[in-house]
Structure 1
Amino acid sequence: MKIKRHFAVVGFIAAGALALTACGSDTNTPAGGSSSTGAAAAPTQTASVDCGGKKSLVAEGSSAQKGAMDLFIQAYGAKCSGQQLAYTPSGSGNGVKQFNGGVSDIGGSDSPLNKDKGEVDAAAKRCKDNPAWNLPMVFGPVAISYKLEGADSVTLTPDVTAKIFSGAIKTWDDAAITTANGGKALPSKPITVVYRGDESGTTDNFQTYLGAAAPSSWTKGAGKKFAGGVGQGAQGSAGVADAINAADGTIGYIEWSFAQDKKLKMAKLDSGAGAVELTADSAATAIKNAKVSGEGNDLRLDLKALYASKEAGAYPLVLATYEIVCSKGYDADTTKAVKAFLTVAATDAQAQLADAGYVPLPSEFQGKILTAVKAIA
């Protein structure tokens, strides 16, 4: 069964490729939905695959990339008969922990390894004193979803969003929300914040966004644990979606695919150039500001400039999901299998991503991924 997801950002191929080259516990995935319209065609670049090595790879982490990983695994098995990979969508925090602990061969995370938290050093130790690389394979927007009877449309600014998620704004008819909505007062109801209770890369990206877009209003910092100090936690993306849907007056941050799957309302964002609805095109307009900040084959991205952008028509709240791998340090059989899996994922598997609601890698960036994979030793 093909799991359809809505992480498509159709303009990313055209808008994002130049910028990129220039420079959560959750076992559930959305049950269905239509694929995004206008999705860009998969890149045509191919690469030879040296199949073999370890028969069963283990990977764990981000739930946001579960649908894409399903396709990668399917393509890997078709290309390399008898080879397989088991993926556990236990959340980004667990993905890093299991990789650094040597439990998994590949870690999945919605944010790159954090040096300040010791993750970079722990990964290097796991890789036998060799650096680990962050390889972004999946891109997609994050929705700010809500349930509020009597409000079919809600517009939020970065400052208002930061104040809601830090508890400074407590009711939907707060004057700041009214101003953000052109003077239209929303119902007089208390706000219930819903956040990821588990460690999550989505939380890390959301809090990084708030710090970049509203630095004076969000002083809680970033990280995989929600630091806002208000609201109720829910396990995984599916848990957040269910919690938002369960009560009137709720608001939370969640991957676009889950918001669409549960038919949740999504707030428009006004970064200073007018309210912007979350669509494939508006997310793509923002993604063009993404830049590679890692060195060499470590392809970590710096999304802060993107988050702080005030570009008209851009929906800036987006994330990238990484596969974390050892540059060196695997045994020979694992090295061969990891390289084969990632090569298939970056080439053969790309043709199916658009139908599943993901974005095929742009050709130029696909080349950077393949260069890094080839360099794994």
Structure 2
Amino acid sequence: MNLKRFGAPVVLAAAAALVLTSCAANEGGATEPTESASSLSGTINAAGASSQGSAQEAWIAAFQTANTDVTINYDPSGSGAGRETFIAGGSDFAGSDSFLNDEELAGEFASCAPDTSAIDLPVYISPIAVVFNVDGVDELNLDATTLAKIFKGEITSWDDPAIAALNTQATLPATPITAVHRSDDSGTTKNFADYLFQNAPDVWDQKPADPFPYQTGEGAQGTSGVIEAVGNGVGTIGYADASKAGDLGVANIKVGDEFVGYSAEAAAAVVAESPLVEGRDGNDLAIQLDRKTTDPTHYPLVLVSYAIVCQEYADATQGELVREYVSYIASDEGQAVAAENAGSAPLSADLSAKVAAALETVK
């Protein structure tokens, strides 16, 4: 059964849009941190992963309550746009469900001090939900191969024998499938594709990347766009951060010999057992997720979302402000706020300590 759901040209446009989330965040219901006198002041502009949207609203509201002279704006423009904006100097940090690739790391970061680079710091762990809207179907089981064929366009009807074989108790209609994917460059897409690439490589033959790789289905902008398209459609299926699943049906995925629903704990278990990416700076904490588990207490369709920050900022004052905010969101208190408001899984004690140590070096 499903477990409980959790409650260049782009730079100028993204920078102009950054103010949107701060206002919304001030209206959020985040758990407030302990009130204390704060000497921090200034404005942080950030952009990126829409998966972090609910968590960022809660984090911003709480941090600004404790630091009344600080303003934080987060534009949930998508992971790819967020990285581009940060690299070009249009924001102070990026939120991204994809860590920086080798090409990006080899380039320059306009907000960082000369001859320095950026680092990836995990701050948000969440399951990816496979959401669906099919008349008469409340429960849906899918394995990786069938899911890959649906999104690749090889399975096109809900009563296909491959789906029926996994759902013997369901009455599946002869309704065409509309598979909804992200139209923007998305780290959620990359994580979804990585799960399929690792578990159904004979079908999903494109290496994981932020753009959706096939000319199939229907594209939608951002997490909210996917949820809206699935919810308003007929015979629809999509993928999105679990915090936004709402009242949509959510498929169980096959892990080992069982079909399991998502939970924060099951997603976190996969992250805890996955190694860091090799060959990177010691402060870069990019994680190479191992999604081939057969343990049904694990949920391998998971994303890790990062705060991408400068190792050293060109403006030291701005660097201090970013360090303090990201330190808050990665702290036990910040992680509890995200868990309460976005249903995310808190960082493990070991990973949290590594993030804290890396942040101590940011300046």
In the alignment, what sits opposite 1:373?
359
Q: 1:235 to 1:241 in 2, by over 3 A?
A: same
Matching residue within 230, 252, 255 for 1:271: 255
Distance (Å, rounded) in 2 between the aligned partners of 1:327 and 1:50: 24
RMSD, matched Cα? 3.1
User: Residue type matched to 1:344 in 2?
Assistant: Y
Q: 1:96 to 1:362 in 2, by over 3 A?
A: same
SS in structure 1 opposite 2:95? Answer: strand
Matching residue within 130, 149, 159 for 1:163: 149
Q: 1:180 to 1:202 in 2, by over 3 A?
A: same
In the alignment, what sits opposite 1:207?
193
User: Residue type matched to 2:96 in 1?
Assistant: S
Q: 1:333 to 1:49 in 2, by over 3 A?
A: farther
In the alignment, what sits opposite 1:41?
none
Matching residue within 86, 91, 95 for 2:78: 91
Pick which of 342-351 and 139-148 moved more.
342-351
The answer to whether 1:188 aligns with 2:182 is no
Q: 1:284 to 1:338 in 2, by over 3 A?
A: closer
For normalisation by structure 1, the TM-score amounts to 0.81
8 A contact 2:256–2:293 mirrored in 1: no
Shift of 1:154: 1.2
User: Residue type matched to 1:352 in 2?
Assistant: V
Q: How does 1:60-139 map onto structure 2 within 5 Å? A: 60-115=47-102, 118-124=103-109, 127=112, 128-139=114-125
8 A contact 1:7–1:140 mirrored in 2: no
8 A contact 1:49–1:344 mirrored in 2: no
For normalisation by structure 2, the TM-score amounts to 0.84
Q: 1:268 to 1:113 in 2, by over 3 A?
A: same
Distance (Å, rounded) in 1 between the aligned partners of 2:273 and 2:306: 18
Q: 1:176 to 1:298 in 2, by over 3 A?
A: same
8 A contact 1:51–1:336 mirrored in 2: no
The answer to whether 1:302 aligns with 2:255 is no
Distance (Å, rounded) in 1 between the aligned partners of 2:67 and 2:265: 36
Pick which of 139-148 and 322-331 moved more.
322-331
Q: 1:282 to 1:349 in 2, by over 3 A?
A: closer
User: Structure 2 stretches of 5 or more lacking a match?
Assistant: 8-13
In the alignment, what sits opposite 2:325?
341
Q: Deviations over 1:291-331 (max 9, x none)?
A: 3225411011111x1x2222223221010110001112422
User: Residue type matched to 1:83 in 2?
Assistant: V
Q: Deviations over 1:22-68 (max 9, x none)?
A: xx9997999x9999xxxxxxxxxx9x99954x611111111111222
In the alignment, what sits opposite 2:315?
331
User: Structure 1 stretches of 5 or more lacking a match?
Assistant: 9-23, 36-45
User: Residue type matched to 1:111 in 2?
Assistant: S
Q: Deviations over 1:179-233 (max 9, x none)?
A: 2224866222211111111111111111111101111110122211111221111
Shift of 1:160: 0.5
Distance (Å, rounded) in 1 between the aligned partners of 2:358 and 2:100: 17
User: Residue type matched to 2:321 in 1?
Assistant: A
Q: 1:326 to 1:234 in 2, by over 3 A?
A: same
SS in structure 2 opposite 1:193? Answer: strand
Q: 1:210 to 1:350 in 2, by over 3 A?
A: closer
In the alignment, what sits opposite 1:354?
339
User: Residue type matched to 1:320 in 2?
Assistant: V
In the alignment, what sits opposite 2:232?
246
SS in structure 2 opposite 1:136? Answer: strand
In the alignment, what sits opposite 1:19?
none
Q: Deviations over 1:123-175 (max 9, x none)?
A: 55653221210001011001111111122211111011111110111111212
8 A contact 2:59–2:338 mirrored in 1: no
8 A contact 1:50–1:336 mirrored in 2: no
In the alignment, what sits opposite 1:317?
301
8 A contact 2:125–2:267 mirrored in 1: no
User: Residue type matched to 1:98 in 2?
Assistant: T
8 A contact 1:276–1:282 mirrored in 2: no
Pick which of 328-337 and 313-322 moved more.
328-337
